[in-house]
């Protein structure tokens, strides 16, 4: 029997087969979870629909997380189809490309608002809608973050600020939702080549540095993040909430 047998998981953030959320979906499927996917935009839909179908996903729901009505509608569909929810995956981030290069001093008001809205506030908005559906004894909400929310990395800029807000939101949500048996955690992944990562200037330089300096002397892959997500979503982690769990070849422990 799988670690997530019969659990109902709603996954936000699959854009293509390189997405971290896709690796998480595959691992959840292997462990016996039922899957619902959300996607944003028609071009993403073309890639996500065949992927979702290949895992026998029960639900495939459009949702732009900037839109409260679409979020409410997405969770209404889940409620009507499944009657409840056990796991929510938030694997979403966005900042305008110009904000992810050059000096942080040039961060625009609009770019800041967009990055924080899509990459951080959306976790709160999704968690609020998920809460009434998570009536079992162990609900699990997992988001994806990056070390650039704790330390300064070249070009990560406003996304670092958004990740800092996201990580603090994890702690506040964990405190707010814990009494209802809902756990909220983040996985801080090392650099992985995905669509989102391609938008960050100098990504290859960061990945090369990690491979050279991290204790494991290599970068991580999507599957390794998925393994941590299975753990955090499963009863094995039933005592764990409010954590930022690093899956980064140990890079974050190195000083010099
Ligand atoms: P990805 O591009 O595959 O995933 C990003 C997802 O965000 C996409 O599915 C995209 O459709 C979605 N998204 C963007 N704006 C949206 C909106 N308005 N509404 C709904 N969805 C929206 O890239 P990824 O690397 O798999 O990113 C997933 C998460 O992992 C992000 O939070 C990212 O910051 C985080 N992360 C990535 C890395 C890395 O190096 N790739 C490292 C650490 C953390």
Tell me what percent of the residues of the chain surpass a pLDDT of 70.
Answer: 100
Could you tell me the distance, in angstroms and rounded to a whole number, from the CA of residue 122 to the centre of ligand 1?
12
Could you tell me the distance, in angstroms and rounded to a whole number, from the CA of residue 1 to the centre of ligand 1?
31
Phi and psi at 144, nearest 5°, equal -115, 130
Q: What is the pLDDT of residue 246?
A: 98
Cα 50 to chain center, whole Å? 21
Of 57, 71, 89, give the one whose Cα is nearest residue 226: 89
| Number of the ligand 1 atom closest to the C-alpha atom of 222 | 26
Which residues have a catalytic role annotated?
146, 156
Q: What is the pLDDT of residue 167?
A: 99
* pLDDT tens per residue, range 203-245: 999 999 999 999 999 999 999 999 999 999 999 999 999 999 9
Q: Which of 20, 70, 148, 205 to probe ligand 1 with, by most ligand atoms within 8 A of CB?
A: 20
Phi and psi at 251, nearest 5°, equal -55, -35
| Number of the ligand 1 atom closest to the C-alpha atom of 195 | 2
Q: Which of 12, 13, 45, 224 to probe ligand 1 with, by most ligand atoms within 8 A of CB?
A: 13
Instruction: For each of the domains in the chain, give its residue range(s) and CATH number, in order of start.
Output: 8-249 (3.40.50.720)
Q: How confident is the model at residue 78 (pLDDT cuts 50, 70, 90)?
A: very high
| Number of the ligand 1 atom closest to the C-alpha atom of 147 | 43
First to last CA, the chain: 44
Q: Is a pLDDT exceeding 90 seen at residue 127? A: yes
Spell out a b/e string for 152-183, using b for 16 or more CB atoms within 10 Å of the CB, else e: ebebbbbbbbbbbbbbebbbebbeebeeeebb
CB atoms within 10 A of CB 36: 25
* pLDDT tens per residue, range 153-211: 999 999 999 999 999 999 999 999 999 999 999 999 999 999 999 988 889 999 999 99
- Longest Cα separation, the chain: 53
Mean pLDDT of the chain: 97
pTM (2 decimals)? 0.98
């Amino acid at each position: 029997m799988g670690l997530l047998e019969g659990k109902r998981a709603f996954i936000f953030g699959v854009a293509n087969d390189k997405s971290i959320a896709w690796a998480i979906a595959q691992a959840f499927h292997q462990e016996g979870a039922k899957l619902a996917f959300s996607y944003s935009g028609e071009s993403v839909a073309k890639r996500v629909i065949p992927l979702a179908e290949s895992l026998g996903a029960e639900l495939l729901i459009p949702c732009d997380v900037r839109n409260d009505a679409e979020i409410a509608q997405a969770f209404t569909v889940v409620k009507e189809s499944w009657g409840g929810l056990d796991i929510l995956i938030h694997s979403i981030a966005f900042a305008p490309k110009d904000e992810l290069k050059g000096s942080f001093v040039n961060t625009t008001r609009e770019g800041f608002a967009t990055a924080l809205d899509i990459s951080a506030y959306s976790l709160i908005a999704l968690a609020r809608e998920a809460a009434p559906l998570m009536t079992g004894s162990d609900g699990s909400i997992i988001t994806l973050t990056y070390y650039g929310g704790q330390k300064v990395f070249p070009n990560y800029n406003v996304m670092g600020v958004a990740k800092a807000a996201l990580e603090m939101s994890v702690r506040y949500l964990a405190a707010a939702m814990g009494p209802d048996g809902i756990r909220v955690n983040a996985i801080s992944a090392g650099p992985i080549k995905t669509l989102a990562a391609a938008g960050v200037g100098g990504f290859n330089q960061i990945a090369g540095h990690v491979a050279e300096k991290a204790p494991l002397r290599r970068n991580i892959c999507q599957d390794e993040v998925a393994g941590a997500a299975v753990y955090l979503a499963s009863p094995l982690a039933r005592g764990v909430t409010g954590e930022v769990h690093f899956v980064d070849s140990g890079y974050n422990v190195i000083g010099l």
